[in-house]
Amino acid sequence: TLFPDYRHRNRGFFAVGRVCAVLWAEPAPVSAGIAIDRSLVSSTYHGERIFSKVRRFVIVASYESHSIALPIVSYGRQGASKRGVNPKHHAVIYTGKNEPLPFAMEHGLLRPGIRAVPDNPLDTLDSASRINFSKVYTIEHNVKVKSVGVI
């Protein structure tokens, strides 16, 4: 069961700049080279494996029944220095007063970083959090979401 902060929201909630969290599910990776937390994988009655976790997003466009969003990722607290990740597609996103410094291998990060003002000062983003401008996601307005803050 999700925490009570996750609930259905009206269309006005999904404004450009809103930072929200969603329980996200997708097919589990099948590559042996990809390490994932097994506790986040379940099976469907079709025998397929599903990977699910809470993901954070920034709304960049909103429509009548869905929004377009960019993901906030930390890549296992490695930021965009993780192997295979292109730092040029990312920017630091943070909730503190000061922008965290990029990691040494994050050459080409988009600058400046983006500050998100949290709804609750205790809900902070990890210092390795990055917004990925190269992937877009659709968030349907009929799913439960948690408000994290605004940029």
Q: Pairing mode, if any, of strands 18-27 and 41-43? A: unpaired
- 10-residue mean pLDDT profile of the chain (151 residues): values are 84 96 78 56 68 89 97 93 93 95 90 94 93 96 96 95
Is 29 inside any structural domain?
A: no
Query: Taken in order 94, 96, 97, 102, is the CA torsion positive or negative?
Result: negative
CB atoms within 10 A of CB 141: 17
Is 66 inside any structural domain?
A: yes
**Is 65 in contact with 34 (CB distance < 8 Å)?**
no
Q: What is the pLDDT of residue 110?
A: 86
Is 109 inside any structural domain?
A: yes
Strand partners, 54: 23
Is 94 inside any structural domain?
A: yes
Whole-angstrom distance, CA of residue 4 vs CA of residue 131 = 26
**Domain coverage including residue 82:** 11-21+57-145
Is 87 inside any structural domain?
A: yes
Strand partners, 51: 26, 41
Number of domains in the chain: 1
For the chain, counts of helices (H) and of strands (E): 0, 10
Q: What is the pLDDT of residue 134?
A: 96
Question: pTM for the full model?
Answer: 0.84
Q: What is the pLDDT of residue 44?
A: 67
Side-chain-side CA neighbours of residue 144 (13 Å): 10
